[in-house]
Structure 1
Amino acid sequence: MNNLIYPCLWFNHEAKAAATFYSAIFPNFKILDENELVVVWELNGTRFMGLNGGPQFKFSEAVSFVIECATQEEIDHYWDKLTADGGSESMCGWCKDKYGVSWQVVPQVLGTLMSDPNKRDRVVAAFMQMKKFDIQTLIQAANG
């Protein structure tokens, strides 16, 4: 089976604007095709389609995109850009962009910090207090 599988995001006639917004945030972004109904783009080698579907459906937290970050600077970049101009912050690394798309901006080190059962509870207690993840605070929590 060689079928390509990729997400289609239903926008309220803002697919092109959303694609332009994302292109300013993510360095490995390119628009592949566009017309009045759809915009197809590629982000870090993954294809997406934005559909100008109208107001019938809204995004929810039931589907989100995870951005795994190596540094605090990367976390700050994605968090600040995605929550700008009408986006919103939530807890534990979750946020929404101005179009209502949910994102999880997480540090790569989180899995390692949580893999030690003796440290896991402290790490979870620390990030449950956070909106945007702070890597140094998580490391300090893990080390007690």
Structure 2
Amino acid sequence: MNSKNRICLWYDGTALEAATFYAETFPDSAVGAITHAPGDYPAGKQGDVLTVEFTVAGIPCLGLNGGPAFTHSEAFSFQIATDDQAETDRLWEAIVGNGGQESACGWCKDRWGLSWQITPRALTAAIADPDPAAARRAFEAMMGMHKIDIAAIEAARGRTTP
């Protein structure tokens, strides 16, 4: 990776598995260099996968197999903008259907505990609607959802989807 900045994500021995899943699931994603531990360390043995360079939707990341000491929280999430309901459904199901769990307002967690916001561009536009009443209705509709339903957001906003 040539970037001077990248996100380092902590895993308990599953960095390569997670990176591979992300690369297979999200466009503009890939697994890069894999570094094996040159010696034993608190979370593993010599030869174990220590780090994995990967890209998620164009964002450079490093997966570190640091052990069980730290876990992911909602304080960090990837927000993926989707273009339509089919893309929203595909990504949501990939995450939730692969051992993840649903949360509210378009948020979900993958099986490694990392939070994702699967956010249709239509939702972003709806809650920024110049008509404050339309924005409020769309926002209130979103608040009752897990996976975002674009047709329901547009209906609440007072529009129809093509």
Normalising by structure 2, we get a TM-score of 0.83
Q: Mind listing any 5+ residue stretches in structure 2 that lack a counterpart?
A: 36-48
Distance in 1 between the 2:97 and 2:73 partners?
A: 18
> Of 58, 69, 75, which aligns to 2:71?
58
> Of 93, 97, 100, which aligns to 1:84?
97
Cα deviation, residue 118, structure 1: 2.2
Secondary structure, aligned partner of 2:74: coil
Over alpha carbons, which structure has the higher Rg?
A: 2
Determine if the alignment matches structure 1 residue 133 to structure 2 residue 148: yes
Cα deviation, residue 50, structure 1: 0.3
CA contact (8 A) 1:79 1:132 kept: yes
Cα deviation, residue 3, structure 1: 6.6
Distance in 1 between the 2:65 and 2:136 partners?
A: 44
What residue is the counterpart of 2:81 in the other structure? Answer: 68
User: Structure 1, residues 3-54: CA drift from partner, whole Å, max 9, x if none?
Assistant: 7211100000100111111122113222220022100012333211000000
Secondary structure, aligned partner of 1:58: coil
What residue is the counterpart of 1:95 in the other structure? Answer: 108
After superposition, the CA RMSD in angstroms is 1.6
Distance in 2 between the 1:105 and 1:45 partners?
A: 16
Q: Mind listing any 5+ residue stretches in structure 1 that lack a counterpart?
A: none
Query: Percentage identity across aligned positions?
Result: 40
CA contact (8 A) 2:3 2:60 kept: no
CA contact (8 A) 2:23 2:55 kept: no
